[in-house]
Chains A and B, each alone.
Chain A
Amino acid sequence: MARKTPKKRLLGLFGDFEQAIKVIIDIRQYEIPGVSVDNITIKSPIEHPEIEEILGDRPCHVSKFTLSGALFGLIFGAFFLAAAQANFLIQPQGGKPVITITSNLVLIYEMLILFGMLATFVGFLFGAGLMRKRSTLDDEMISLDQVGIVIEVEDENIDPVRQLFEKHHVLEIRDRELKDQ
C-alpha cells in the first residue's frame, strides 16, 4: 500500500474580505495542484452569504432536522394528549367527547413548534460542527476584524499557496501538520 503524502493545514490571515475572496478565485482559476476548493474553509468575524457563490454549494441539513422535529411534535402531541385524555375516562365529561380534537389542535400546534425548534437547535449543533474540540490553527483576530483562509495542502504544494497568499497581501501565515490522514 502506497504511503500517503504528508499534508499540512495552512491558515492565512487577511485584513480584508475582498482579498480573501480573490485568493479563492485564483485557486479556482489557476488550479494549484493538490489544492481543491472543497478543502478550503473561510473564517470570518461576520456572515458573508456571498461566499457561497465562490465556494459552491455546500450541504446544510438543518431543515431536515426541523422537519423531523416538527413532524415528531405533531404526532407525539396528538398521541400524548389523546393518551392523557383517555386515561381520564372516569372524569365526568358532560356529554362532550373524551378526546377533544378541536381543542387538542391548539396544543398539537404548540407541540409541533416546540419540537420543531428543539430539533432545529440540535441540527444546528450537529450541522455547524459545534461542541467539538477547537482546532489549534485558529486566531483570536478572526473574531475581531480579520478573515482567515484555511487550506489543506500536500507538503510539496505549500509554496505556491504561500505565494498566492502573499500576492493578495496576507498579514500572517501559520501552518500545522495534519495528523488525521
Chain B
Amino acid sequence: MAEETHLSATKDIDEKIAWAEINSDVLRSMENPRMGYWLAVVVSICMLMVGVASEVYQYNVGMGPAQLNNPHMWDLYISTFVFWIGMSHSGTLLSAILHLFHADWRKPIYRFAEAMTTFSLMTALVFPIIHLGRVWNMHWVIPYYSDRGIWPNFRSPLVWDAFAITTYLTGSVLFLYIGMIPDLAICRDNAIGWRKRLYTFMSVGWRGDDRQWRNFRKTYLLMACFLIPLAVSVHSIVAADFAMAIMPGWHVTSFPPYFVSGALYSGCAAIITLFVLLRYFFKFEQYMTLPILDKTCKLTFAIAMVWSYLNLIEFASVWYGHDIPAKEVLIAKFTGPYSPFFLGMLFCGSVLPFTLAFEKIRRNPMLLLPISIFLNVGMWLERYMIVAPTLSLAYHPWSWDVMWPGWVEWGIVFGSFGWFGLLFLIFVKVFPSVSMYEVKEMVYHRRRVVYEDAELRAHEYKKGASGASSAAPATEGS
C-alpha cells in the first residue's frame, strides 16, 4: 500500500485510468456550471464593467484623467500591454517546445495554457488602442495606402509589433484549434443541441483514421517549429520598442532576452495559478497531478533564475557602461520614489521563487496559488519599472516628475483582468480544457512501460525460479 502511494506520487499519470473515464470527466467539466462558476463569471463581468466605464469616461473627457503627459507619454497602459504580451508566451511557446522534446507531462496542461495565450493576446491588443487616446482614429495606424498624408514608419518597432503580434495571435489560435480537433470530435459524438452543431462544424469531419492522424502529427510538428521562433521574435520586438529608443535604462542590448525570459516566467506562473484553480474546481486531480505541478514549478524556478541573472547583467552593464543618465536611473530605482515597487519586483521575481526549490512547496497547491500570484505581481511590477522610472527621470532634470497612475488607468487595468477572466471562463465551459486524446496517449504509453517492466520482471523470475507467474497483458482503453 505504501509502495503504491509512493508510486502515485512520482508518476505523471495513473495507468489504471479507463479511457471512458477520461472522456466522461472532461466532458462533465463542460456541463452544468456550479454556483462557484457563476460567481466567477459575475466577478469577471463586474471587473470588466469597471474597465469599460473607465474607458467610456476617458473617451468622453480625453486623456487628462489618465495623466498621460510629458514626460509620461507611456505609463500603465503600455506596461500592462507588455505584461499581457508576456503572459501570452508560456502557453504556446512552452507547449511547442515541450512537444518537440516529447515531454509527455505537458499533455494534460497545454490546452488551457494555449487558451491563456490566445486570451492574453486579445487582452494585450486592447491596450495600444486605449493608449492612443483618440480611439476613433485607430484606423490611422493601419499601413494602407493613404491619400491623407499619413504614412506608417516601417523602420519603427511599433509597426513591427503590429505585424508580429497579429502573426502570433493567428498562429496561436491555429495551434490551439488544430490541437483541439480530435477532442472536438469526441465532443461532437457526445453532445446534443447547439453544442452538437458547433462541435460538428469545428471538428471538420474528424474520424480518427490513420491518414488524419498522420497529417495531424506532421502539421502539429510544423506549427510547433514555426511558433517557437515566432514567440521569441514577438517579445524581442516588444523589447525593441524600448531598446531602440535612446532613453536611459532602455537602450540595453540584453533587453530582448530579458523580455523573453520575463514573458516565459510570468506565463509559467500564470499556468501554475490556473492549474491549481482548474484542478480544484473541476476535480482534475487524476490528470493535473502533483508530479506535473512539480515539473511546472521546477521549470518556473529555472526561468526565474535566468530572469534574475539577466537583471543582474543589466545592472552590471549599466553600472560599468559609464552611461551617466542610465546609471542615475538605476540608482533612482533602488533609492528613489519608485524603490518600493522596484524592491518589491526583485523580491517577488528573484527571492520568492526560491520557495520552489522545496519539493514540499512544489507539491502543495494551496501554497502555490498565492506564490504564483505574487510571482505575477512581481512580473507586472517589472514592466511598470521598465516604463515609469525611465520616463520620470530621463535626461533633463527640470522635467523630472514622479507620476502615479490615475483612477482611470487603474480602472482599465483592473477591467483587463475581468476581460481575460471572462474569456477564459467561457472557454473552459465550451471547450475541453484538458486534452482527452493526449491524456489517453499518456495512459497508453504508461501502460506499455508498466507492462514491459512486468514482463521483464516475470522473465527474470522465470530464469531464477521455475513456475513464475506471467504478467497480465495491457489493453487499449479498459
Contacts and interface: CB of A to CB of B under 8 A. Distances in A.
Interface of A: 14-18, 41-49, 51-52, 55, 58, 60, 62-63, 66, 81, 84-85, 87-88, 91, 96, 100, 103-104, 106-107, 109-111, 113-114, 116-118, 120-121, 123-125, 127-135, 138, 140, 142-147, 150
B213 interface: yes
B462 to A, nearest CB: 22
Interface in B419-478: 437-438, 440-441, 444, 473-478
Contacts of A140: 189-190
Nearest to A121: B174
Interface stretch (B34-42, B229-237, B371-379): B229-237
Interface of B: 18-20, 23, 143, 145, 151-152, 154-155, 159-160, 163-164, 166-167, 170-171, 174, 178, 181-182, 185-186, 189-190, 204-219, 222-223, 226-227, 229-230, 233, 237, 437-438, 440-441, 444, 473-478
B205 A43 contact: no
B206 A130 contact: yes
Given A48-B210, A120-B219, 5 more contacts: A114-B167, A116-B226, A140-B189, A142-B208, A144-B186
Contact of B233 (A49, A109, A117): A109
A104 B189 CA distance: 48
A127 B18 CA distance: 32
A140 B444 CA distance: 20
B215 A114 contact: no
A62 B219 contact: yes
Contact of B218 (A15, A42, A55, A60): A60
A134 to B, nearest CB: 5
A123 to B, nearest CB: 7
B215 A128 contact: yes
Nearest to A44: B208
B224 to A, nearest CB: 11
Contacts of B212: 128-130
Nearest to B445: A46
A100 B216 contact: no
Contacts of B213: 44, 47-48
A158 to B, nearest CB: 21
A104 B205 CA distance: 40
Given A88-B151, A104-B154, A121-B178, A128 B171 contact: no
Contacts of B19: 45, 144-145
Nearest to B143: A84
A122 to B, nearest CB: 10
A120 to B, nearest CB: 5
Which DSSP category, helix, strand, loop or mixed, fits chain B's interface?
helix
Nearest to A116: B226
B186 A130 contact: no
Given A42-B209, A143-B208, A120 B226 contact: yes
Nearest to B160: A106
22 contacts: A16-B476, A41-B211, A45-B208, A46-B438, A58-B214, A84-B143, A106-B233, A111-B163, A114-B167, A116-B222, A117-B167, A118-B174, A120-B223, A124-B218, A128-B216, A128-B219, A131-B205, A134-B205, A140-B189, A140-B190, A145-B20, A146-B476
A84 B154 contact: yes
B298 to A, nearest CB: 27
Contacts of A91: 151
Given A81-B154, A107-B160, A129 B211 contact: yes
Contact of A43 (B154, B209, B218, B437): B209
Contacts of A117: 167, 170-171, 174, 223, 226-227
Contact of A143 (B189, B227, B473): B189
Contacts of B182: 143
A96 B205 contact: no
Contacts of A100: 154-155
A48 B143 CA distance: 46
